[in-house]
Structure 1
Amino acid sequence: MTSTSHYRELRAELESLTTEAFRPELSDIDRLPTLEIARLMNAEDTTVPAAVAERLPQIAAAIDAVAERMARGGRLIYAGAGTAGRLGVLDASECPPTFNTEPSRVVGLIAGGPEAMVTSVEGAEDSTELAVEALDALRLTAADTVVGISASGRTPYAIGAVEHARRLGALTIGLACNADSALAAAAEHGIEIVVGPELLTGSTRLKAGTAQKLVLNMLSTITMIRLGKTYGNLMVDVRASNDKLRARSRRIVALATGAPDDEIEKALATTDGEVKNAILTLLADVDGPTAARLLEESGGHLRAALGSTARGGR
């Protein structure tokens, strides 16, 4: 049984965190009209991008390091508990359809496992051992990157994941929403987005969650740009797995090439629906197999593949 003194210490620790601070000026929020509460909440949310902007140099440095590892075959692995863990799983799950990555390239780990996505798993966030077990199951290598995510910056699961990954030589990033956090200190790249006290005391799924989502968007998206998953601002590695994405694929080829519909259909047919390859066949006037070879030789970078042809890029 956990002692009373332990909970007293934990309470004191929480009270020292900016994300847990009580705001007496909002103590009557439940008496306000709904529209006024919505205005207050919206005003709070507008402060988040500015807090992220203050850490852009640290974010950019972390992204360059991640891209370098992933270019060598490494993986991007998120680890967190509760809202932080769910955001990591969400970002990871969006990469295959958006950038045509293998599901194993970007992975989200949440304390308590998949069940914790929808149900609270008691005690999971307090276990560093669970984080170590999850990373060991993935056979973590020095080429990989582990991003620990925790609003408080003190969650044992996230800190344990970062510490274990660093011991194994992996790149480590600690994303927190409090200054001087243990998580940021444990990581090679510490990113602390200090968004201040929440509208509801301690409800870090609000501003802190929004800040984490914005940073994870940057980490994955800009890394994929650096890996050649885009051409300009077009998602040329999109995986056309449904009607909407098939229509989007055709639109992307049209935007990149300006070709008429019949030529686009022919290009996609000869490249098995691969958008990047189809664009290359149209812009460089090469056949499907040649486009595949050129892209392989350029490491999947469409602009580089175009530059190696007589017609060059746009």
Structure 2
Amino acid sequence: MSASIIAIDAMGGDFGPHCIVPACLAALAEFPSLHLTLVGQAPLIEEQLARHPGVDRARLQVRHASEVIAMDERPAQALRGKPDASMRVALELVRQRQAHACVSAGNTGALMALSRYLLKTLPGIDRPAMVSAIPTERGHCHLLDLGANVDCSAEHLYQFAIMGAVAAETLGVSRPRVALLNVGIEDIKGNQQVKLAASLLQQARGLNFVGYIEGDGLYRGEADVVVCDGFVGNILLKSSEGLAQLIVGRVEALFRQGLFAQAVGALAMPLLRRLKADLAPARHNGASFLGLQGIVVKSHGAAGQEGFQSAIRCALREVQDNLPQRLHGRLEDLLL
């Protein structure tokens, strides 16, 4: 397998190099063909690397960047005011073809603005959309947008659906079922934007549009691709993560109440651990920016080592699948 080079914004997220460096080292150990370029304030990165003696530096480079984009910084300010920010330099490596992909846990708005400015969108795509795999009863569904675009037109939702369907196909889903997230499944339900998007999708050639879906239908696995605007998608994602943690926590607490419950809990603990691992947000961390002329993966800002490693894994999979080129090849046939 040929080498894959991923640029890492080592200063992004809530924990910066303290979390990101160990995650990168774990990813290098997991994937022998992986090469990483850690971008950020070199002294801080090297300080973290020094805590892990014996690191194979043949597949790991450090690229100094003097500036950091804060998590609460306005995208316009990040775009114009910090030319040597770690996030920007990492994206520049992708633009200059010195890296195949970029991974960042930093400011989502800034990452979107810089990605669109430096990498540009694919022909026919107005805005990139964040997509991630959400666990369902039947496996997974691809949900987009997850927060990159709070306000969307019907045309944007149409483009998101096309991109989501092609992305699902690259993962082996045959004729993926595409649905619009709505407040009901009846044709009369929903706002004007969703109704117009449905009309566009019904006319799409080669797209398996199955209509509207409600939130519970998403988790039953009634669609392979579920489309919504970023405002709704981000709330749904964060609520799902919180609910999963609540359920597992409540079950664990029940198994600690009394001797009988503890005995039953001891028998059920292997299954509970498996459920906890399956639902853990860290396992599903990493949202792709579909629609760019390059691969960019956004990690949750609060992700720990396991979560950031999952985001690197997501980027590597897209590099190996050559996703932007495959998207470009299909968009011409499917877009209006």
Relative to the length of structure 1, the TM-score reads 0.31
Q: Which structure would you say has the larger RCO, counting Cα contacts within 8 Å and 6 or more residues apart?
A: 2
Q: Structure 1 or 2: larger helix share?
A: 1
Which has the greater radius of gyration? 1
Q: Structure 1 or 2: larger strand share?
A: 2
